[in-house]
Amino acid sequence: MSLKSTFSNSTSKSYALALFEISKEKSELDKVEIGMKSLKVLLQDSPDFKEMILSPTIKKEDKRNVILAIADKNNFSNTLKKFLAFVAVKNRLFYLDNIIESYLNLVSDNRGELKAKLISSKKLSQSEQEKIQQELSKDFKSYLNIDFSYDPNLIAGLIIKVGSIMIDTSVKTKLKKIEKNMLEL
């Protein structure tokens, strides 16, 4: 399984790097990034789309037609359209989720952004996310590209990870520490 996972990651990174280099050469990094973010949302929000991409029973030509229709509808750049068509013809759309992540990481690294993960006990509104992003960027003196997620099991509070730094203000963790201290008595 580990070897298969490594091969998958390596292949996805190769495709993402190729798209990154072509996008950079054509000065379309931002346009392609917007398209990739749209595809990421579509993969998260549409089980039918994800199933179609992963299904080995759907012909690659049909997958290509669907992905190109989505690209046209969302006004993706020609670079991204050609790339998606190529990936579909090569029957590698099942790597799409990993390719998107790898591409977005390359663009973020190119800008010199720091990556962070924030897990909250409640769903954060867009304005709350923006405010947190601005405050943390100020604190770290660099733009932070934050991956926000929601975990109701935290009870209350946040967990923030930036590189090797982790700040955990969740009630769940505090309760675990109290429980540990009580058991040690």
pLDDT tens per residue across span 75-134: 999 999 999 999 999 989 888 999 999 999 899 888 887 888 888 888 888 888 888 888
pLDDT band, residue 1 (cuts 50/70/90): very low
CA angle 34, 15, 114 (to 5 degrees): 55
Residues 25 and 99 in one domain: yes
Q: What is the pTM of this model?
A: 0.69
We report the CATH number of the domain holding residue 64 as 1.10.520.20
Examine the domain organization and report whether 11 and 41 are in the same domain: yes
* Whole-angstrom distance, CA of residue 118 vs CA of residue 158: 7
Q: Which residue has the tokens 């992540």?
A: 101
